[in-house]
Chains A and B, each alone.
Chain A
Amino acid sequence: DAGITQSPRYKITETGRQVTLMCHQTWSHSYMFWYRQDLGHGLRLIYYSAAADITDKGEVPDGYVVSRSKTENFPLTLESATRSQTSVYFCASKGGDIKTQYFGPGTRLLVL
């Protein structure tokens, strides 16, 4: 399917476990982003990537790891999940010369 997809859509895990959230886009957009959305905070940028093998921290990167070996994929890993990482996670992408970001449908993560 064309567009931007995220998997899984829902995930329940336990404190201390490693979790990887997947993001895939079919537009060959150079930029990709990971946000978390919590009540009262809007969306906050975790990490972003300007191209394959280029990543950088956003506003709230602690506890997260990203990689981007292929242009179309941008996985987000929680190395040791904590309850404070319970949130809705959104992936987004955009072309290099445009301002519009296209968002995926989100992953709801619950850390027990």
Chain B
Amino acid sequence: TQLLEQSPQFLSIQEGENLTVYCNSSSVFSSLQWYRQEPGEGPVLLVTVVTGGEVKKLKRLTFQFGDARKDSSLHITAAQPGDTGLYLCASDSWGKLQFGAGTQVVVTP
């Protein structure tokens, strides 16, 4: 079982500020997924990263995969209240997902 550590656990910022959340493991990821979960709903996939050093952008969200494929980050530029949610990273192992505990992000107007 691969242990995924997410930091910080909680982040509260003002609208317009930038934020970064992290996902780390002691072992190599075959691939890594980032999900966002809103209250009362299931997680929704944002992105999958596979290649070491890979950078993917989704509007104001930038996802980076570490060169050694042991860490990943999610950066949000000019956060908006709609970005509020629980951000989860997950590693994929033979079709089964192992999740981190998540980072709760709150963006206030």
Chain A residues in the interface with B (C-beta under 8 A): 31, 33, 35, 40-45, 48, 50, 58-59, 90, 92, 94, 99-101, 103-106
Residues in B78-109 with C-beta less than 8 Å from chain A: 88, 90, 92, 95-102
Whether B41 pairs with A100 at a CB distance below 8 angstroms is: no
Q: Would you call the interface of chain A mostly helix, strand, loop, or mixed?
A: strand
Residue ID in chain A nearest B88 by CB atoms:
A42
Of B31, B42, B90, B96, the residue contacting A90 (CB under 8 A) is B42
Q: Would you call the interface of chain B mostly helix, strand, loop, or mixed?
A: strand
Chain B residues in the interface with A (C-beta under 8 A): 1, 4, 6, 31, 33, 40-45, 48, 88, 90, 92, 95-102
Query: With A and B bound together, what is the CA distance between A31 and B55 in angstroms?
Result: 29
Residue ID in chain B nearest A39 by CB atoms:
B101
Take A31-B95, A58-B96 as given contacts and tell me if A103 and B101 are in contact as well, using a CB distance cutoff of 8 Å. Answer: no
Whether A94 pairs with B42 at a CB distance below 8 angstroms is: no
Whether B45 pairs with A100 at a CB distance below 8 angstroms is: yes
Query: With A and B bound together, what is the CA distance between A103 and B97 in angstroms?
Result: 12
Take A99-B48, A99-B92, A101-B45 as given contacts and tell me if A45 and B40 are in contact as well, using a CB distance cutoff of 8 Å. Answer: no
Take A43-B88, A100-B45, A105-B41 as given contacts and tell me if A94 and B95 are in contact as well, using a CB distance cutoff of 8 Å. Answer: yes
Of A45, A100, A104, the residue contacting B96 (CB under 8 A) is A45
Query: With A and B bound together, what is the CA distance between A92 and B42 in angstroms?
Result: 9
Whether B97 pairs with A101 at a CB distance below 8 angstroms is: yes
Chain B positions within 8 Å of A31 at CB level: 95
Least CB distance, B44 to chain A, in whole angstroms = 7
Query: With A and B bound together, what is the CA distance between A40 and B99 in angstroms?
Result: 11
Least CB distance, A45 to chain B, in whole angstroms = 6
